[in-house]
Structure 1
Amino acid sequence: MLVAAVLATSAAGACGGGGEQTSPPASSTTTTPPYLPAVIDPPKTASPVTVQQVVDVRTVRLSDGAELKVRGLAAPDACWADAAGMFARTMLLEKSVEATPEGSLRLADGTDYAVLAVELGMVRNDAADDPAMKEAEEKASARKLGRWGPPCVQPNTAAPVTSRPGGTTTAPPAPKPVTGCSVEYRVTNTWPGGFRTDVTIRNTGTTDVTGWTLVWKFPSGQTVSEMWNATPKQSGPEVSATAMPYNQAIARGESVLMGFTGSGSGGNSTPGAFSLNGFSCTRA
Protein backbone atom coordinates (compact mmCIF):
# COMPACT_ATOMS: atom_id res chain seq x y z
CA MET A 1 0.00 0.00 0.00
CA LEU A 2 2.84 2.37 0.82
CA VAL A 3 4.46 1.67 -2.49
CA ALA A 4 1.20 2.27 -4.31
CA ALA A 5 0.76 5.61 -2.60
CA VAL A 6 4.25 6.78 -3.46
CA LEU A 7 3.79 5.76 -7.07
CA ALA A 8 0.45 7.57 -7.22
CA THR A 9 1.99 10.75 -5.80
CA SER A 10 4.86 10.63 -8.25
CA ALA A 11 2.49 10.15 -11.17
CA ALA A 12 0.41 13.08 -10.08
CA GLY A 13 3.42 15.30 -9.82
CA ALA A 14 4.54 14.23 -13.25
CA CYS A 15 1.16 15.04 -14.70
CA GLY A 16 1.04 18.44 -12.96
CA GLY A 17 -1.73 17.65 -10.69
CA GLY A 18 -1.66 19.76 -7.55
CA GLY A 19 1.64 21.33 -8.51
CA GLU A 20 2.54 24.42 -10.48
CA GLN A 21 3.56 23.67 -14.02
CA THR A 22 6.78 25.31 -15.00
CA SER A 23 6.96 26.43 -18.64
CA PRO A 24 10.30 26.53 -20.32
CA PRO A 25 11.61 30.04 -20.82
CA ALA A 26 10.44 31.59 -24.02
CA SER A 27 13.24 32.05 -26.42
CA SER A 28 13.75 35.78 -27.20
CA THR A 29 15.50 36.88 -30.33
CA THR A 30 17.31 40.23 -30.00
CA THR A 31 17.82 42.03 -33.30
CA THR A 32 20.86 44.35 -33.27
CA PRO A 33 20.56 47.17 -35.79
CA PRO A 34 23.39 47.31 -38.28
CA TYR A 35 26.24 49.71 -37.48
CA LEU A 36 25.93 52.92 -39.41
CA PRO A 37 28.91 55.22 -39.09
CA ALA A 38 28.09 58.85 -38.40
CA VAL A 39 28.29 61.04 -41.45
CA ILE A 40 30.70 63.87 -40.75
CA ASP A 41 30.54 66.87 -43.02
CA PRO A 42 33.92 68.03 -44.23
CA PRO A 43 35.08 71.30 -42.69
CA LYS A 44 33.76 74.31 -44.49
CA THR A 45 36.43 76.39 -46.12
CA ALA A 46 35.67 79.86 -47.32
CA SER A 47 36.08 80.35 -51.01
CA PRO A 48 38.47 83.11 -52.00
CA VAL A 49 36.61 86.41 -52.02
CA THR A 50 37.96 89.41 -53.83
CA VAL A 51 36.86 93.02 -53.99
CA GLN A 52 35.35 93.66 -57.40
CA GLN A 53 34.38 97.31 -56.93
CA VAL A 54 35.19 100.09 -54.48
CA VAL A 55 32.19 102.39 -54.10
CA ASP A 56 33.93 104.58 -51.53
CA VAL A 57 36.33 104.14 -48.64
CA ARG A 58 33.79 102.19 -46.58
CA THR A 59 31.64 100.44 -49.21
CA VAL A 60 32.76 97.60 -51.48
CA ARG A 61 31.22 94.95 -53.72
CA LEU A 62 32.64 91.44 -53.41
CA SER A 63 33.09 88.65 -55.92
CA ASP A 64 30.30 86.63 -54.30
CA GLY A 65 27.83 89.38 -55.19
CA ALA A 66 27.55 90.88 -51.71
CA GLU A 67 27.86 94.59 -51.00
CA LEU A 68 29.58 95.35 -47.73
CA LYS A 69 29.58 98.57 -45.75
CA VAL A 70 32.60 98.19 -43.52
CA ARG A 71 31.70 98.38 -39.85
CA GLY A 72 33.12 101.29 -37.87
CA LEU A 73 33.84 103.70 -40.73
CA ALA A 74 32.03 107.01 -41.06
CA ALA A 75 31.00 108.52 -44.37
CA PRO A 76 34.03 110.04 -46.12
CA ASP A 77 34.58 113.77 -45.70
CA ALA A 78 34.08 115.74 -48.91
CA CYS A 79 37.52 117.35 -48.50
CA TRP A 80 39.20 113.93 -48.41
CA ALA A 81 36.81 111.68 -50.36
CA ASP A 82 38.99 111.41 -53.47
CA ALA A 83 42.12 110.58 -51.47
CA ALA A 84 40.23 108.08 -49.33
CA GLY A 85 38.79 106.41 -52.41
CA MET A 86 42.22 106.17 -53.98
CA PHE A 87 43.54 104.57 -50.79
CA ALA A 88 40.68 102.05 -50.76
CA ARG A 89 41.25 101.08 -54.39
CA THR A 90 44.96 100.61 -53.78
CA MET A 91 44.38 98.40 -50.75
CA LEU A 92 41.29 96.47 -51.83
CA LEU A 93 40.53 96.38 -55.54
CA GLU A 94 41.01 92.87 -56.96
CA LYS A 95 42.57 91.78 -53.65
CA SER A 96 41.64 88.75 -51.58
CA VAL A 97 39.84 89.71 -48.38
CA GLU A 98 37.88 88.13 -45.55
CA ALA A 99 34.49 89.59 -44.71
CA THR A 100 33.45 88.73 -41.16
CA PRO A 101 29.83 88.24 -40.03
CA GLU A 102 30.21 91.40 -37.91
CA GLY A 103 30.89 93.51 -41.00
CA SER A 104 34.65 93.85 -40.66
CA LEU A 105 37.02 93.43 -43.58
CA ARG A 106 40.41 91.78 -43.16
CA LEU A 107 43.23 91.98 -45.66
CA ALA A 108 45.19 88.95 -46.80
CA ASP A 109 47.79 89.52 -44.08
CA GLY A 110 45.12 89.67 -41.37
CA THR A 111 45.15 93.47 -41.01
CA ASP A 112 41.83 95.01 -40.04
CA TYR A 113 41.08 97.35 -42.94
CA ALA A 114 38.91 99.71 -40.88
CA VAL A 115 41.59 100.23 -38.23
CA LEU A 116 44.20 100.87 -40.92
CA ALA A 117 42.01 103.38 -42.76
CA VAL A 118 41.29 105.33 -39.56
CA GLU A 119 44.91 105.14 -38.38
CA LEU A 120 46.08 106.72 -41.64
CA GLY A 121 43.49 109.48 -41.40
CA MET A 122 41.55 108.35 -44.47
CA VAL A 123 38.20 108.43 -42.68
CA ARG A 124 36.71 109.13 -39.27
CA ASN A 125 35.85 106.46 -36.71
CA ASP A 126 32.17 105.62 -36.35
CA ALA A 127 32.52 102.95 -33.65
CA ALA A 128 32.77 104.81 -30.36
CA ASP A 129 32.70 101.56 -28.38
CA ASP A 130 35.71 100.06 -30.18
CA PRO A 131 38.97 100.79 -28.30
CA ALA A 132 41.20 99.91 -31.27
CA MET A 133 39.33 102.26 -33.59
CA LYS A 134 39.29 105.03 -30.99
CA GLU A 135 43.05 104.72 -30.47
CA ALA A 136 43.66 104.72 -34.24
CA GLU A 137 41.71 107.97 -34.66
CA GLU A 138 43.52 109.64 -31.77
CA LYS A 139 46.86 108.79 -33.39
CA ALA A 140 45.79 110.14 -36.78
CA SER A 141 44.42 113.34 -35.28
CA ALA A 142 47.53 113.95 -33.18
CA ARG A 143 49.78 113.48 -36.22
CA LYS A 144 47.47 115.49 -38.50
CA LEU A 145 47.26 112.67 -41.01
CA GLY A 146 44.90 112.58 -43.94
CA ARG A 147 41.62 114.36 -43.24
CA TRP A 148 43.12 115.79 -40.02
CA GLY A 149 45.53 117.89 -42.11
CA PRO A 150 45.36 119.99 -45.28
CA PRO A 151 43.14 120.60 -47.14
CA CYS A 152 40.52 119.61 -44.57
CA VAL A 153 42.43 121.46 -41.84
CA GLN A 154 44.47 124.36 -43.16
CA PRO A 155 47.86 124.97 -41.51
CA ASN A 156 48.65 128.46 -40.30
CA THR A 157 51.83 128.43 -42.36
CA ALA A 158 50.09 128.05 -45.72
CA ALA A 159 51.18 130.72 -48.16
CA PRO A 160 48.13 132.54 -49.54
CA VAL A 161 47.64 133.55 -53.13
CA THR A 162 47.66 137.36 -53.22
CA SER A 163 45.97 139.66 -55.71
CA ARG A 164 47.51 142.63 -57.43
CA PRO A 165 45.70 145.67 -58.81
CA GLY A 166 44.32 144.92 -62.23
CA GLY A 167 43.00 141.47 -61.32
CA THR A 168 46.22 139.52 -61.75
CA THR A 169 47.34 137.05 -59.10
CA THR A 170 50.72 136.10 -57.76
CA ALA A 171 51.34 132.41 -57.09
CA PRO A 172 53.21 131.34 -53.98
CA PRO A 173 56.99 131.25 -54.40
CA ALA A 174 58.61 128.06 -55.69
CA PRO A 175 59.42 125.54 -52.97
CA LYS A 176 62.86 125.78 -51.45
CA PRO A 177 65.21 122.80 -51.15
CA VAL A 178 64.74 120.49 -48.19
CA THR A 179 66.81 121.72 -45.25
CA GLY A 180 66.12 118.98 -42.74
CA CYS A 181 64.16 115.73 -42.44
CA SER A 182 63.88 112.58 -40.39
CA VAL A 183 62.43 109.18 -41.26
CA GLU A 184 60.88 106.58 -39.00
CA TYR A 185 60.74 103.16 -40.69
CA ARG A 186 58.63 100.74 -38.66
CA VAL A 187 57.64 97.19 -39.63
CA THR A 188 54.16 96.74 -38.19
CA ASN A 189 53.31 93.22 -39.31
CA THR A 190 55.06 90.18 -40.74
CA TRP A 191 53.97 86.85 -42.22
CA PRO A 192 55.80 84.12 -44.17
CA GLY A 193 57.29 85.84 -47.19
CA GLY A 194 55.80 89.27 -46.53
CA PHE A 195 55.59 92.31 -44.27
CA ARG A 196 53.84 95.65 -43.76
CA THR A 197 55.71 98.86 -42.96
CA ASP A 198 54.78 102.39 -41.90
CA VAL A 199 57.12 105.20 -42.92
CA THR A 200 56.83 108.60 -41.23
CA ILE A 201 58.56 111.55 -42.89
CA ARG A 202 59.06 114.62 -40.71
CA ASN A 203 60.14 118.03 -41.92
CA THR A 204 62.79 119.13 -39.44
CA GLY A 205 64.07 121.94 -41.61
CA THR A 206 63.39 125.67 -41.71
CA THR A 207 61.21 125.73 -44.84
CA ASP A 208 58.00 124.03 -45.90
CA VAL A 209 58.23 121.09 -48.28
CA THR A 210 55.79 121.24 -51.20
CA GLY A 211 56.29 118.17 -53.32
CA TRP A 212 58.52 115.31 -52.19
CA THR A 213 60.11 112.02 -53.15
CA LEU A 214 61.64 109.69 -50.58
CA VAL A 215 64.35 107.29 -51.75
CA TRP A 216 65.95 104.27 -50.08
CA LYS A 217 67.60 100.95 -50.92
CA PHE A 218 66.49 97.56 -49.66
CA PRO A 219 69.43 95.56 -48.27
CA SER A 220 67.82 92.10 -48.41
CA GLY A 221 66.21 91.87 -51.82
CA GLN A 222 62.76 93.03 -50.67
CA THR A 223 60.20 94.26 -53.17
CA VAL A 224 57.25 96.61 -52.72
CA SER A 225 53.88 94.99 -53.41
CA GLU A 226 51.49 97.85 -52.63
CA MET A 227 51.95 101.36 -51.31
CA TRP A 228 49.56 103.91 -49.85
CA ASN A 229 49.88 107.69 -49.51
CA ALA A 230 52.68 107.63 -52.09
CA THR A 231 53.37 106.33 -55.59
CA PRO A 232 56.10 103.66 -55.68
CA LYS A 233 58.81 103.03 -58.22
CA GLN A 234 61.43 100.32 -57.79
CA SER A 235 64.52 99.47 -59.80
CA GLY A 236 66.50 96.64 -58.25
CA PRO A 237 67.02 97.45 -54.59
CA GLU A 238 66.31 101.19 -55.00
CA VAL A 239 62.81 102.41 -54.17
CA SER A 240 61.31 105.86 -54.60
CA ALA A 241 58.04 106.96 -53.04
CA THR A 242 56.53 110.13 -54.50
CA ALA A 243 53.85 112.26 -52.87
CA MET A 244 50.23 111.95 -53.92
CA PRO A 245 48.32 115.03 -55.10
CA TYR A 246 46.67 115.32 -51.69
CA ASN A 247 49.80 115.20 -49.47
CA GLN A 248 52.34 117.27 -51.37
CA ALA A 249 52.97 119.67 -48.51
CA ILE A 250 54.90 118.97 -45.32
CA ALA A 251 54.93 122.13 -43.21
CA ARG A 252 57.85 122.90 -40.93
CA GLY A 253 57.70 120.65 -37.89
CA GLU A 254 54.96 118.47 -39.43
CA SER A 255 55.03 114.95 -40.82
CA VAL A 256 53.31 112.68 -43.32
CA LEU A 257 52.74 108.97 -43.03
CA MET A 258 53.02 106.56 -45.93
CA GLY A 259 53.26 102.82 -45.93
CA PHE A 260 53.53 99.69 -48.00
CA THR A 261 53.36 95.94 -48.05
CA GLY A 262 56.36 94.07 -49.32
CA SER A 263 57.69 90.61 -49.99
CA GLY A 264 61.04 88.90 -49.77
CA SER A 265 62.66 85.57 -49.01
CA GLY A 266 66.11 86.74 -48.00
CA GLY A 267 65.26 88.43 -44.71
CA ASN A 268 63.83 91.83 -43.96
CA SER A 269 66.66 94.09 -42.89
CA THR A 270 65.88 97.76 -42.45
CA PRO A 271 67.23 100.19 -45.06
CA GLY A 272 70.23 102.06 -43.78
CA ALA A 273 69.66 105.49 -45.36
CA PHE A 274 66.84 107.68 -46.69
CA SER A 275 66.87 110.86 -48.74
CA LEU A 276 64.08 113.37 -49.29
CA ASN A 277 64.35 115.30 -52.55
CA GLY A 278 68.03 114.43 -52.49
CA PHE A 279 68.59 115.60 -48.91
CA SER A 280 69.94 112.95 -46.53
CA CYS A 281 67.50 112.38 -43.64
CA THR A 282 68.27 111.28 -40.12
CA ARG A 283 66.70 108.13 -38.67
CA ALA A 284 64.01 108.69 -36.08
Structure 2
Amino acid sequence: MNIFANIPFMKYLSFLLLLFTFFVILFIIFVSRMPTIRSNLSIPLTHLNRIDDVRMETDDVEKRSATAFRPLCVKCGVFGAQDGSGYAEFGNTRVLAQITGPEGDGKWEEAYAKVTITLKGVENETKVAELRADMTSSLSAVIFVNKYPGKVIDIEVTVLSDDGGVLSTAITAVTLALAHSGIEHMGLTASAHVTLRQNGDYITDPSTSEAEDAIGGVTFAFVPNLGQTTCVNLYGRIPLKATSPLLEFARQRAIALVPAIHKAVVNSVKERK
Protein backbone atom coordinates (compact mmCIF):
# COMPACT_ATOMS: atom_id res chain seq x y z
CA MET A 1 0.00 0.00 0.00
CA ASN A 2 1.41 3.37 -1.02
CA ILE A 3 1.03 5.73 1.99
CA PHE A 4 2.02 8.75 -0.11
CA ALA A 5 -1.14 8.42 -2.17
CA ASN A 6 -3.09 10.11 0.67
CA ILE A 7 -0.87 13.19 0.88
CA PRO A 8 -2.98 15.42 -1.45
CA PHE A 9 -6.12 14.48 0.49
CA MET A 10 -4.43 15.29 3.83
CA LYS A 11 -3.39 18.69 2.52
CA TYR A 12 -6.96 19.35 1.40
CA LEU A 13 -8.31 18.29 4.81
CA SER A 14 -5.83 20.54 6.60
CA PHE A 15 -6.90 23.45 4.41
CA LEU A 16 -10.57 22.88 5.31
CA LEU A 17 -9.76 22.77 9.03
CA LEU A 18 -7.81 26.02 8.80
CA LEU A 19 -10.65 27.65 6.88
CA PHE A 20 -13.21 26.49 9.47
CA THR A 21 -11.05 27.81 12.33
CA PHE A 22 -10.75 31.16 10.56
CA PHE A 23 -14.53 31.57 10.24
CA VAL A 24 -15.07 30.53 13.88
CA ILE A 25 -12.65 33.24 15.02
CA LEU A 26 -14.41 35.83 12.85
CA PHE A 27 -17.79 34.83 14.32
CA ILE A 28 -16.50 35.13 17.90
CA ILE A 29 -15.09 38.60 17.18
CA PHE A 30 -18.39 39.69 15.58
CA VAL A 31 -20.52 38.49 18.51
CA SER A 32 -18.23 40.09 21.10
CA ARG A 33 -18.69 43.49 19.43
CA MET A 34 -22.49 43.42 19.35
CA PRO A 35 -23.97 46.46 21.20
CA THR A 36 -25.84 45.74 24.41
CA ILE A 37 -27.83 47.53 27.06
CA ARG A 38 -25.89 47.13 30.29
CA SER A 39 -28.06 45.62 32.98
CA ASN A 40 -28.13 42.53 35.13
CA LEU A 41 -29.11 40.73 31.93
CA SER A 42 -27.34 41.52 28.68
CA ILE A 43 -29.85 42.43 25.98
CA PRO A 44 -28.60 42.45 22.37
CA LEU A 45 -29.97 45.58 20.71
CA THR A 46 -30.43 43.63 17.48
CA HIS A 47 -33.36 41.84 19.12
CA LEU A 48 -35.26 45.11 19.44
CA ASN A 49 -35.61 45.25 15.66
CA ARG A 50 -38.03 42.34 15.96
CA ILE A 51 -40.40 44.17 18.27
CA ASP A 52 -43.26 44.80 15.89
CA ASP A 53 -45.96 42.71 17.48
CA VAL A 54 -48.96 44.99 17.91
CA ARG A 55 -48.99 48.52 16.55
CA MET A 56 -51.66 51.21 16.71
CA GLU A 57 -51.11 54.07 14.30
CA THR A 58 -52.73 57.44 14.98
CA ASP A 59 -52.94 60.72 13.13
CA ASP A 60 -50.08 63.19 13.12
CA VAL A 61 -49.39 64.74 16.52
CA GLU A 62 -50.61 68.13 15.31
CA LYS A 63 -53.91 66.67 14.09
CA ARG A 64 -54.76 63.97 16.62
CA SER A 65 -57.80 64.46 18.82
CA ALA A 66 -57.90 64.67 22.60
CA THR A 67 -58.70 60.94 22.78
CA ALA A 68 -55.98 59.68 20.41
CA PHE A 69 -52.75 58.07 21.61
CA ARG A 70 -49.39 58.58 20.00
CA PRO A 71 -48.35 55.74 17.65
CA LEU A 72 -47.76 52.78 19.93
CA CYS A 73 -46.21 49.34 19.86
CA VAL A 74 -46.57 46.60 22.50
CA LYS A 75 -44.94 43.18 22.69
CA CYS A 76 -45.48 40.34 25.17
CA GLY A 77 -42.44 38.09 25.31
CA VAL A 78 -39.38 39.81 23.90
CA PHE A 79 -36.66 37.44 25.10
CA GLY A 80 -37.12 33.72 25.58
CA ALA A 81 -34.30 33.37 28.12
CA GLN A 82 -36.03 35.36 30.86
CA ASP A 83 -39.01 34.16 32.88
CA GLY A 84 -41.06 37.05 31.51
CA SER A 85 -40.50 40.10 29.33
CA GLY A 86 -42.54 42.88 27.78
CA TYR A 87 -42.02 46.00 25.71
CA ALA A 88 -44.13 49.14 25.33
CA GLU A 89 -43.61 52.12 23.07
CA PHE A 90 -45.76 55.26 23.01
CA GLY A 91 -44.40 57.80 20.56
CA ASN A 92 -40.76 58.28 21.48
CA THR A 93 -41.17 56.81 24.97
CA ARG A 94 -39.87 53.23 25.07
CA VAL A 95 -39.70 50.89 28.06
CA LEU A 96 -38.51 47.29 28.38
CA ALA A 97 -39.46 45.09 31.36
CA GLN A 98 -37.96 41.74 32.40
CA ILE A 99 -38.97 39.38 35.18
CA THR A 100 -36.95 36.64 36.86
CA GLY A 101 -38.48 34.30 39.39
CA PRO A 102 -40.26 33.45 41.49
CA GLU A 103 -37.27 31.75 43.05
CA GLY A 104 -35.74 31.40 46.48
CA ASP A 105 -32.71 33.45 47.50
CA GLY A 106 -32.05 31.67 50.79
CA LYS A 107 -32.87 34.80 52.79
CA TRP A 108 -36.54 35.58 52.24
CA GLU A 109 -38.66 33.22 54.36
CA GLU A 110 -41.98 35.03 54.68
CA ALA A 111 -45.32 33.40 53.81
CA TYR A 112 -45.60 35.53 50.68
CA ALA A 113 -43.38 36.51 47.76
CA LYS A 114 -41.07 39.50 47.86
CA VAL A 115 -41.38 41.74 44.78
CA THR A 116 -38.37 43.90 43.93
CA ILE A 117 -38.19 46.50 41.16
CA THR A 118 -34.95 47.75 39.63
CA LEU A 119 -35.28 50.86 37.47
CA LYS A 120 -32.63 51.70 34.89
CA GLY A 121 -32.26 54.45 32.33
CA VAL A 122 -33.47 57.26 34.65
CA GLU A 123 -30.78 59.50 36.14
CA ASN A 124 -32.84 61.69 38.46
CA GLU A 125 -32.85 59.91 41.83
CA THR A 126 -36.07 61.58 42.97
CA LYS A 127 -37.88 60.46 39.81
CA VAL A 128 -36.45 56.95 40.22
CA ALA A 129 -37.87 56.73 43.74
CA GLU A 130 -41.27 58.04 42.63
CA LEU A 131 -41.54 55.69 39.65
CA ARG A 132 -40.45 52.69 41.70
CA ALA A 133 -42.96 53.50 44.44
CA ASP A 134 -45.84 53.86 41.96
CA MET A 135 -44.96 50.66 40.10
CA THR A 136 -44.49 48.69 43.32
CA SER A 137 -47.89 49.86 44.57
CA SER A 138 -49.56 48.99 41.27
CA LEU A 139 -47.95 45.54 41.07
CA SER A 140 -48.60 44.63 44.69
CA ALA A 141 -52.30 45.06 44.00
CA VAL A 142 -52.40 42.46 41.21
CA ILE A 143 -49.81 39.74 41.97
CA PHE A 144 -50.96 36.84 44.15
CA VAL A 145 -47.87 37.03 46.37
CA ASN A 146 -49.34 34.51 48.84
CA LYS A 147 -49.08 31.86 46.11
CA TYR A 148 -45.28 32.01 46.29
CA PRO A 149 -44.16 31.82 49.94
CA GLY A 150 -40.45 32.32 50.49
CA LYS A 151 -39.89 33.33 46.87
CA VAL A 152 -38.48 36.48 45.28
CA ILE A 153 -39.79 38.05 42.07
CA ASP A 154 -37.28 40.43 40.50
CA ILE A 155 -38.56 42.96 37.97
CA GLU A 156 -36.10 45.01 35.94
CA VAL A 157 -37.50 48.05 34.12
CA THR A 158 -35.26 49.75 31.57
CA VAL A 159 -36.31 53.15 30.22
CA LEU A 160 -34.82 53.23 26.73
CA SER A 161 -36.15 56.74 26.02
CA ASP A 162 -38.52 59.14 27.76
CA ASP A 163 -40.62 61.67 25.87
CA GLY A 164 -43.52 61.85 28.32
CA GLY A 165 -45.81 59.32 29.97
CA VAL A 166 -42.98 57.08 31.15
CA LEU A 167 -44.93 55.77 34.18
CA SER A 168 -47.92 54.55 32.17
CA THR A 169 -45.57 53.11 29.53
CA ALA A 170 -43.59 51.28 32.22
CA ILE A 171 -46.76 49.87 33.81
CA THR A 172 -47.84 48.60 30.38
CA ALA A 173 -44.45 46.96 29.76
CA VAL A 174 -44.49 45.31 33.19
CA THR A 175 -48.05 43.96 32.81
CA LEU A 176 -46.99 42.39 29.49
CA ALA A 177 -43.92 40.86 31.13
CA LEU A 178 -46.10 39.59 33.97
CA ALA A 179 -48.48 37.92 31.51
CA HIS A 180 -45.52 36.35 29.71
CA SER A 181 -44.01 35.04 32.96
CA GLY A 182 -47.02 32.94 33.91
CA ILE A 183 -46.99 34.34 37.46
CA GLU A 184 -50.50 34.23 38.90
CA HIS A 185 -52.14 37.64 39.04
CA MET A 186 -55.60 39.20 39.00
CA GLY A 187 -55.53 40.30 35.36
CA LEU A 188 -54.03 42.65 32.82
CA THR A 189 -53.45 46.22 33.95
CA ALA A 190 -54.32 49.05 31.56
CA SER A 191 -52.74 52.46 32.09
CA ALA A 192 -53.01 55.88 30.46
CA HIS A 193 -51.43 59.29 30.95
CA VAL A 194 -53.68 62.33 30.44
CA THR A 195 -53.02 66.04 30.99
CA LEU A 196 -55.35 69.00 31.45
CA ARG A 197 -54.96 72.39 29.80
CA GLN A 198 -55.97 75.74 31.26
CA ASN A 199 -58.96 75.93 28.89
CA GLY A 200 -60.24 72.57 30.15
CA ASP A 201 -59.09 70.49 27.16
CA TYR A 202 -57.58 67.06 27.71
CA ILE A 203 -54.49 65.66 26.02
CA THR A 204 -54.18 61.88 25.89
CA ASP A 205 -50.66 60.46 26.08
CA PRO A 206 -48.89 63.80 25.49
CA SER A 207 -45.24 64.05 24.57
CA THR A 208 -42.98 66.28 26.66
CA SER A 209 -43.48 69.23 24.32
CA GLU A 210 -47.27 68.72 24.16
CA ALA A 211 -47.50 68.78 27.95
CA GLU A 212 -45.68 72.10 28.34
CA ASP A 213 -48.89 74.16 28.54
CA ALA A 214 -50.71 71.69 30.81
CA ILE A 215 -51.71 72.76 34.31
CA GLY A 216 -51.57 69.18 35.57
CA GLY A 217 -52.34 65.60 34.74
CA VAL A 218 -52.75 62.03 35.91
CA THR A 219 -51.37 58.58 35.26
CA PHE A 220 -54.24 56.18 35.81
CA ALA A 221 -54.01 52.38 35.94
CA PHE A 222 -56.59 49.73 36.71
CA VAL A 223 -57.52 46.09 36.10
CA PRO A 224 -60.47 46.24 33.68
CA ASN A 225 -61.90 42.78 34.35
CA LEU A 226 -62.16 43.61 38.06
CA GLY A 227 -62.71 47.36 37.84
CA GLN A 228 -59.96 47.72 40.44
CA THR A 229 -57.83 50.88 40.35
CA THR A 230 -54.13 50.22 40.99
CA CYS A 231 -52.53 53.62 40.38
CA VAL A 232 -53.70 57.25 40.51
CA ASN A 233 -50.77 59.64 40.17
CA LEU A 234 -52.19 63.16 40.15
CA TYR A 235 -49.87 66.13 39.74
CA GLY A 236 -50.03 69.85 39.02
CA ARG A 237 -52.66 72.44 39.92
CA ILE A 238 -55.87 70.69 38.96
CA PRO A 239 -59.07 72.36 40.27
CA LEU A 240 -60.99 70.13 42.66
CA LYS A 241 -64.11 70.14 40.49
CA ALA A 242 -62.03 69.01 37.48
CA THR A 243 -60.46 66.03 39.25
CA SER A 244 -63.34 63.56 38.95
CA PRO A 245 -63.98 64.21 35.21
CA LEU A 246 -60.24 63.94 34.55
CA LEU A 247 -60.02 60.56 36.29
CA GLU A 248 -63.03 59.23 34.39
CA PHE A 249 -61.56 60.42 31.09
CA ALA A 250 -58.23 58.74 31.91
CA ARG A 251 -60.05 55.52 32.81
CA GLN A 252 -61.82 55.50 29.45
CA ARG A 253 -58.53 56.07 27.64
CA ALA A 254 -56.96 53.17 29.54
CA ILE A 255 -59.89 50.96 28.51
CA ALA A 256 -59.16 51.86 24.87
CA LEU A 257 -55.74 50.19 25.21
CA VAL A 258 -57.10 46.84 26.40
CA PRO A 259 -57.59 45.30 22.90
CA ALA A 260 -53.97 46.03 21.92
CA ILE A 261 -52.61 44.61 25.19
CA HIS A 262 -54.84 41.55 24.95
CA LYS A 263 -53.81 40.92 21.34
CA ALA A 264 -50.12 41.07 22.29
CA VAL A 265 -50.68 38.44 24.99
CA VAL A 266 -52.63 36.18 22.61
CA ASN A 267 -49.87 36.48 20.00
CA SER A 268 -47.32 35.49 22.63
CA VAL A 269 -49.29 32.35 23.48
CA LYS A 270 -49.49 31.43 19.79
CA GLU A 271 -45.73 31.85 19.41
CA ARG A 272 -45.10 29.40 22.25
CA LYS A 273 -47.14 26.64 20.62
The two structures share one fold, judged by TM-score above 0.5:
no
Q: Which has the larger radius of gyration?
A: 1
TM-score (norm 2): 0.25
